[in-house]
Every structure is written in structure tokens, then in C-alpha cells.
Amino acid sequence: MLAQGIPLHEVSKILGHSSISVTSDVYGHLVSDRRKAAATAIGEALWGAS
């Protein structure tokens, strides 16, 4: 779901986790990977490919 762009809090609700912290602890690395990819994409858009 995270790979498809579903927000972490929605994934947490769907999976029935007791808190978003549980979801973040288990799947947080996927969010971090997406943030890195987004930062790279905006960097390339602004300053060209590295």
C-alpha cells in the first residue's frame, strides 16, 4: 500500500495496528526510501541529472 502512495496513517488503520507507531516501526524504511526517491527527483528536476 505504501508503494502505491497510501499514507502511513491509512495503512495503519487498514492493517488494524493499535497505533501509527507500530506501522512506522515495521514499515518505516519504505517511507524513508520514498522520501529519498522524492528528494532525488526534485534535485534532478531543479539541477539536472547527477
Domain ranges of the chain: 2-45
pLDDT for 36 equals 78
DSSP for residue 19: S
User: Can you tell me the distance from the alpha carbon of 24 to that of 15, in angstroms, rounded to the nearest whole number?
Assistant: 12
Walk along the chain (50 residues) and give the pLDDT tens digit of each residue. Answer: 888 888 888 999 999 999 989 998 898 888 777 777 877 787 788 887 55
pLDDT for 47 equals 83
24 in Cβ contact with 31 (< 8 Å): yes
pLDDT for 46 equals 84
Q: How far apart are the first and last CA of the chain?
A: 30
DSSP element (H, E) containing 20: helix 20-47
pTM of the model: 0.61
Give the residue carrying C-alpha cell 526517491. 37
